[in-house]
Amino acid sequence: MAIYQKTVEQFETLLKCDIIDLKRLKILAFNGCPAENGIRSLTWKVLLNYLVLDRTKWSSHLSKQRELYRGYIRETIIKPGLTPTTEADFVDHPLNSAPDSSWAVYFKENEVLLQIDKDVRRLCPDLSFFQRETDYPCSEILNQEAGFESLRKRIVSTALKVESQSQSRLTGRLEFEYQNKKNHSSTSYDDNEYQLLPDGHEAHWEVVERILFVFSKLNSGQSYVQGMNEIIGPIYYTFATDPNLEWREHAEADAFYCFTNLMIHIRDNFMKIYDHSEFGILVRMQRFLMLLKKTDHDIHYLFEKQKLKPEFYAFRWLTLLLSQEFRLPDVLRIWDSLFADQERNFEFLLYICCAMIVLQRTRLLTGSESQNIKLLQNYPQDIDGRQIISKRIYQSGELIFEEQPLVLAQFEWNKLYKYSACEYCLYPLESCEQNVRRLCQDTSIVIQHPECDPNQTISQRIVRCPQCNEMYCSTKCYQQAMTNYHSILCQSTENEKKDQLIRHIIDLWRSAHPPPETTSITLVLKLMAMLKNSNNRLLLLQELQKFSQGVQSENQKFYHKLLRKEFQSQVEQLRYALEQFNEQYMQISEFKWFLTSDGFRQLLALLGRNQQGVGTSSLAIWVKNCENLSKTQETTAAAAGAAGSDISQFIDAIYTKIDDVSGEFIDCEGSGLFKLQSCLNHSCDANAEIQYLHNNSTLSVVTTRLISPNEEITINYLSECDRNRSRHSRQKLLQENYLFLCQCNRCVSEASEPDETSEEEESENEMDED
């Protein structure tokens, strides 16, 4: 953290200089730009030659450029015939087929516009950002009396159809998508495409659409080519999420100029006439192959043998600067280095592409031609976009790291059944004896070795909220909760209607999600309250965007289990109740998109795919301490030649009775969102596991076996009882909850086994049917 903070300070010091040291800035940016304080946004503007190095000239330069862009909008998005200035304009009409007719040009431009519209509606579907409303819509377009026509009206009113995607030079995924949609009309959109907001409001994807359309008209020789939307998307996102309001307000104009400057460097990728030029795409692919041969001769030989030409996969990688191969946060980090490497014509990109191949070396060497081309055209994001690699040897049982959750909530059913825990950190708020008596429903039980229970006097340390009586394990936890969310969610008698709505939302959740719970709707309520209280809502939203939130798998046709059709009515009731809660008591404009139908589906998928279960128990602490005491006593007794004291039978008897009375629900349970933990990939044969060594929400990642340097650290996403099920059952659970098919060593080795459901799961299904 100290190193990171030092990096932030270096950037801020450099960017505040009257004359910016470009060489020094490139060195810093190559190693990654911090997202805080708008550092990445400002650095990109400098690296992409939009901002001059003399800061004293920024004000006049920006004012001039932004006014110029407004002029471009006025010149390029005006509808012919609305503002006639000459007699010839009156003669021109929509049926005029003359080459110089403004109407003929207008209709021809619509073909380009329709293609842009189709592409931007699918921009970064795993993120909600582009579907959300912008706070800075284009005033010229919204002013209907100014003689301008919004692009959405042009698209709706036109009857033209895009006959083909002949301008697309990309292979693989984009062509495949087009082939599946080739029978659709150009004005029909599937469930994965963004929908329009009401009149007078603009979504971010519409801003991107306008930038691309203006660019296409000002660069008629190149126009728009499919894939340019993937280049402008990350640039606009970075500028439109700048914490500085002035920079954010002018994100559209700034993104236009930076995109235009970037296209100067990579335009050869999008124009066929430059394919064989010095920096053309064919020459770059040949240089990539030469580098691959030098890096890994075996892989290069395999590709030649299987005839895996770079046109099949590397064409898109190089053309789109890997924007389709990784999630947006990872793309931004890659582009930090690429923009700092412009003088070498993105030479570093070739090395990244080679590294991507090497990382998949084992799978490629054992895969067939069809398997390998599928792998390269659908590069596994969950493996290479998000992973944690060991830098040294870790012994079995060694702690790797610990972290606190971004947000945490106790399960609602767990709380209803009187599992007493700190509302903020989930530390258990009952002694071991109280815990055992409640779970066994036997008030006569007296535990042995009470000195092994650190919670004997917990009742004396409990801090209660004076308004709602909510309990906390310390004053610190209470104060943190008040600062973050509890000041808003506190269910006191001051606002009975608000409290009733909160209870209604929780009741709806319980009815939709009976035990065993996997997440909690209270996480959503707490996130809303945290946004309400935050001094930097944008930063919190950016943290939230880093978690996976797709509702459907990218390559497989399955949805998250919370979004099945049988839950559709209950999910809609929940969404509507939360929408009312926001409108009546929160008024968080930044959260509105999450409360639309599409946005709420993504929010539930985010919680379902990323939440990490948290379990705490005063009984577990006591048992652990008793076991340590027993070992000490046995050692002492052995040295004295006497028999040791064995309490294992007493502990076994307690667990037997708990199992008979309460079943397997022993702990205070909840779930939270952990930023680092969410980067740990799954393996059915994991080398690490999640523990809660402090008996609160502090998550600890501990090794389960020896881990070598450069080995990926993995955990098992499945519960303890599910880990020994058949490969078929494990795959089914992972598909339903996390939207991927596991390809770990264990699953690969069991691939020959029949697709049979485990006996335990069959029994559960029979019980559900009954």
For 230-371, strand residue ranges (E) read none
The CATH number, out of the four listed (1.10.10.1590, 3.30.70.1400, 3.10.180.10, 1.10.472.80), of the domain defined by the range 275-384: 1.10.472.80
Ordered by start, the domain boundaries in the chain are: 34-265, 275-384, 407-613, 722-770
Confidence category of residue 590, pLDDT binned at 50, 70, 90 = confident
End-to-end Cα spacing for the chain:
54
> Is 675 in contact with 406 (CB distance < 8 Å)?
yes
**Residue 596 pLDDT greater than 90, yes or no:** no
Poorest-confidence range of 177-191, 267-281, 369-383?
Answer: 177-191
> Is 224 in contact with 216 (CB distance < 8 Å)?
yes
Return the pLDDT at 349.
94
How does pLDDT run across 681-714, given as a tens digit for each residue? 999 999 999 999 999 999 999 999 999 988 999 9
Query: Mean pLDDT across the stretch 227-246?
Result: 93
- Tell me what percent of the residues of the chain surpass a pLDDT of 90: 43
- Letter for the amino acid at 301? Y
The set of residues, in sequence order, having a beta carbon less than 8 Å from that of 429 and lying 6+ positions away, is 420, 421, 422, 458, 459, 462, 471, 473
Query: Mean pLDDT across the stretch 365-381?
Result: 87
**Residue 640 pLDDT greater than 60, yes or no:** no
How does pLDDT run across 377-418, given as a tens digit for each residue? 988 765 444 688 898 999 999 999 999 999 999 998 888 888
Q: What is the mean pLDDT of the chain?
A: 82
Of 210, 89, 102, 82, whose CA–CA distance to 147 is shortest?
82
**Residue 474 pLDDT greater than 50, yes or no:** yes
Confidence category of residue 275, pLDDT binned at 50, 70, 90 = low
Tell me whether residue 768 is exposed, middle or buried, using C-beta atoms within 10 angstroms of its C-beta: 0 to 12, 13 to 18, 19 or more: exposed
Of 565, 570, 529, 523, whose CA–CA distance to 547 is shortest?
523
Parallel/antiparallel/unpaired status of strands 463-464 and 471-472: antiparallel
| CA 705 – CA 394 distance, rounded (Å) | 8
| CA 251 – CA 180 distance, rounded (Å) | 34
Q: How many helices (H) and strands (E) does the chain have?
A: 36, 10
Q: Which residue has the higher pLDDT, 656 or 155?
A: 656
Poorest-confidence range of 222-231, 232-241, 552-561?
Answer: 552-561
- Tell me what percent of the residues of the chain surpass a pLDDT of 70: 80
> Is 377 in contact with 318 (CB distance < 8 Å)?
no
> Is 659 in contact with 439 (CB distance < 8 Å)?
no
| CA 743 – CA 715 distance, rounded (Å) | 14
* Phi, psi (degrees; rounded to nearest 5) at 651: -65, -45
Q: Which residue has the tokens 């006996």?
A: 759
User: Which residues, in sequence order, are bridge partners of residue 671?
Assistant: 409, 613
How does pLDDT run across 73-127, given as a tens digit for each residue? 888 876 544 444 444 444 556 566 666 666 666 777 788 888 898 899 888 877 7
Collapsed DSSP state (helix, strand, coil) of residue 199 = coil
**Residue 290 pLDDT greater than 70, yes or no:** yes
Confidence category of residue 180, pLDDT binned at 50, 70, 90 = very low
Model pTM score: 0.63
DSSP secondary structure letter of residue 518: S
